[in-house]
């Protein structure tokens, strides 16, 4: 069981990274092999909509960090996606990453027409989480669905979500043992058959 954790935070060692580590610790404690990637460490150009991936079945517009991540996404049994909430949404890093998963869609010839995600039926699942400063869930906006819905469209069922509100400064999550234990438990649960 391979779990790939993906942090969309630009802030190294911040709340998103810390919560991701706790989720992966939980998954590892249940026997999974885990890897964390931080999107800020990869050059990922935003998708331009050139549609070349429909023909080439991978991105041939850019030869950037996404090509290091595609094999990791393809071979992972479980994905964990986490982003801080930025203006009611995910960060540009996470958005660019998700948009560049576009080669994994298969479209019919007619436009607009039906499409499917290549991962459908493979049993690959995802957990998504977001951290926000404000405690009112309204202030979290679209961050969770902005990750959850594309995963579903790609055929990767989101089996758990972990919203965390009330954390602003770098390091606040690390000082909350209850949240870290909740994340470890979610990580453990996530990889159980």
Ligand X SMILES: Cc1cc2nc3c(=O)[nH]c(=O)nc-3n(C[C@H](O)[C@H](O)[C@H](O)COP(=O)(O)O)c2cc1C
Among the listed residues 21, 24, 103, the one whose alpha carbon sits nearest the alpha carbon of residue 70: 103
Examine residue 5 and tell whether it contacts ligand X (CB under 6 A).
Answer: no
Determine the interface stretch with ligand X among 45-53, 63-71, 81-89, 106-114 (rule: CB under 6 A).
81-89
Among 35, 56, 74, 139, binds ligand X (CB under 6 A): 139
Output 123 or 171, the one with its CB closest to ligand X: 171
Beta bridge partners of 125: 78, 157
Q: Which of 104, 119, 129, 167 binds ligand X (CB under 6 A)?
A: 167
Please choose, out of 58-66, 85-93, 100-108, 145-153, the segment that lies near ligand X by the rule CB under 6 A.
85-93
Query: 4, 6, 15, 32: which one contacts ligand X (CB under 6 A)?
Result: 15
Q: Under rule CB under 6 A, which residues in 88-117 are in contact with ligand X?
A: 88
Cα separation values, 70 from 17, 75, 136, 178, Å = 21, 9, 35, 34
Q: Provide the pairing of β-strand 125-132 with 78-84.
A: parallel
Helices (H), the chain: 15-29, 52-56, 66-75, 92-99, 143-153, 177-191
Among 22, 23, 65, 85, binds ligand X (CB under 6 A): 85
Q: Which is nearer to ligand X, 2 or 11 (CB)?
A: 11
Q: According to the binding rule CB under 6 A, does residue 129 interact with ligand X?
A: no
Pairing of β 115-117 and β 105-107:
antiparallel
131 binds ligand X (CB under 6 A): yes
- Could you say which DSSP state residue 94 is in? H
| Cα distance between residue 174 and residue 122, in whole Å | 35
Report the side by side order of strands in the sheet with 125-132.
33-38, 2-7, 78-84, 125-132, 157-165
The smaller minimum CB distance to ligand X, of residues 91 and 148, is found at 91
Q: Which residues bind ligand X (CB under 6 A)?
A: 9, 11, 14-16, 84-88, 131-134, 139, 141, 167-168, 170
């Amino acid at each position: 069981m391979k779990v790939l954790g993906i942090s969309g935070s630009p802030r190294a060692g911040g709340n998103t990274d810390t919560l991701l580590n706790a989720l992966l610790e939980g998954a590892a404690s249940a026997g999974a092999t885990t890897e964390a990637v931080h999107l800020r460490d990869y050059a990922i150009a935003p998708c331009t909509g050139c549609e070349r991936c429909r023909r080439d079945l991978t991105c041939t517009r850019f030869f950037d960090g996404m090509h290091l991540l595609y094999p990791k996404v393809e071979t992972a049994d479980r994905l964990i996606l986490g982003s801080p909430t930025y203006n009611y949404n995910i960060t540009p890093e996470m958005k660019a990453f998700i948009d560049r998963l576009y080669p994994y869609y298969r479209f019919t010839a007619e436009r607009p027409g039906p499409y499917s995600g290549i991962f459908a039926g493979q049993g690959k699942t995802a957990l998504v989480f977001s951290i926000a400063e404000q405690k009112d869930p309204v202030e979290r906006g679209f961050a969770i669905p902005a990750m959850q819905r594309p995963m579903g469209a790609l055929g990767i069922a989101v089996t758990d979500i972990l919203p965390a509100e009330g954390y602003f400064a770098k390091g606040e999550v690390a000082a909350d043992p209850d949240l870290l234990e909740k994340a470890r438990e979610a990580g453990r649960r996530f990889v159980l058959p």
